């Protein structure tokens, strides 16, 4: 669905403005609210929460590729091709069940565009292509992976490159020995994009309780939170068919 403010009905009360997470709504010279189509991420927060006193916000059908914005902005609507809602998969939070990341491997989730900044898919492509050159393994069920026209190069489909989303999460895994090279590539590409991102890492602890790769982060003086999401391994591994 598309979000549209009907200016003939709008009375300029500004009630909708603070609800917009991407700063897309503003009051024009005509003292009515207007939506910046580029900034709008099609999240429907204004429609669902602002309680417009004159019902000036209306929903209209979205066509492709604009509809990409809506699915990446919500957690209640699944991507039809992957059956995954919102921006990504459960990442490392369910690794005791899925077994996606094994000893000697590092799982990455690159959380792009949050909080309240947004991300152009052109910038997301710069990140995925920089990673693909290092031979990373992209998560096949991730919605952004589905938008790739070539997973070997990280290239996204041309028809979505002009879209902007609230956030997206490139997900992939590597061998431990690849970590310095991958992290340096992320640091380099961060200077080429107009948004923010936060890397999340998933590793299995060593038998002695130490955490792989922390020595590298300490040497480089890179800030981290080692206990952001701790999976204690109480889930039952999923059956393999």
Percent of the chain with pLDDT over 90: 56
**Cβ neighbours, 10 Å, residue 170:** 26
Same domain for 86 and 183, yes or no, is: yes
d(CA 118, CA 217): 27
Same domain for 98 and 177, yes or no, is: yes
Q: Determine, yes or no, domain membership for 236.
A: no
Q: Determine, yes or no, domain membership for 10.
A: yes
- Mean pLDDT, rounded, for 113-135: 94
- Sequence-distant (6+) residues with CB within 8 A of 202 are 91, 92, 95, 101, 106, 107, 108, 109
Same domain for 15 and 116, yes or no, is: no
Residue 241, pLDDT > 50, answer no
CATH code, domain carrying 44: 3.30.70.20
Q: Are 87 and 167 in contact (CB under 8 A)?
A: yes
As for how many domains the chain has, the answer is 2
CATH code, domain carrying 159: 3.30.70
- How do residues 95-118 score in pLDDT, each as one tens digit? 778 878 888 999 999 999 987 789
What is the residue range of 99's domain? 82-219
DSSP state of 70: H
Residue 57, pLDDT > 80, answer yes
Same domain for 53 and 145, yes or no, is: no
Q: Determine, yes or no, domain membership for 193.
A: yes
- How do residues 59-71 score in pLDDT, each as one tens digit? 888 888 998 998 8
Same domain for 203 and 116, yes or no, is: yes
- How do residues 187-213 score in pLDDT, each as one tens digit? 999 999 999 999 988 888 888 888 888
Same domain for 45 and 164, yes or no, is: no
């Amino acid at each position: 669905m598309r979000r549209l403010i009907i200016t003939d009905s709008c009375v300029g009360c500004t009630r909708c403005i603070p609800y917009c997470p991407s700063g897309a709504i503003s009051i024009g010279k005509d003292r009515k609210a207007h939506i910046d189509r580029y900034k709008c991420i099609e999240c429907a927060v204004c429609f669902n929460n602002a309680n417009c006193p004159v019902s000036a916000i209306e929903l209209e059908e979205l066509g492709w590729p604009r509809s990409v914005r809506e699915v990446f902005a919500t957690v209640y609507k699944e991507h039809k091709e992957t059956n995954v809602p919102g921006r990504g998969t459960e990442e490392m939070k369910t690794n005791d069940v899925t077994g996606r990341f094994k000893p000697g491997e590092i799982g990455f989730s690159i959380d792009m565009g949050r909080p309240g900044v947004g991300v152009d898919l052109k910038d997301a492509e710069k990140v995925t292509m920089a990673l693909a050159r290092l031979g990373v393994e992209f998560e096949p069920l991730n919605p952004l992976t589905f938008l790739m026209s070539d997973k070997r190069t990280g290239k996204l489909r041309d028809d979505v490159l002009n879209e902007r989303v609230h956030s997206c999460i490139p997900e992939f895994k590597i061998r431990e020995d690849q970590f310095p090279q991958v992290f340096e590539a992320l640091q380099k590409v961060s200077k080429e994009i107009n948004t923010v991102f936060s890397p999340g890492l998933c590793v299995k602890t060593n038998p002695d309780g130490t955490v792989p790769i922390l020595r590298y982060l300490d040497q480089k003086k890179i800030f981290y939170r080692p206990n952001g999401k701790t999976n204690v391994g109480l889930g039952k591994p999923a059956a393999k068919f």
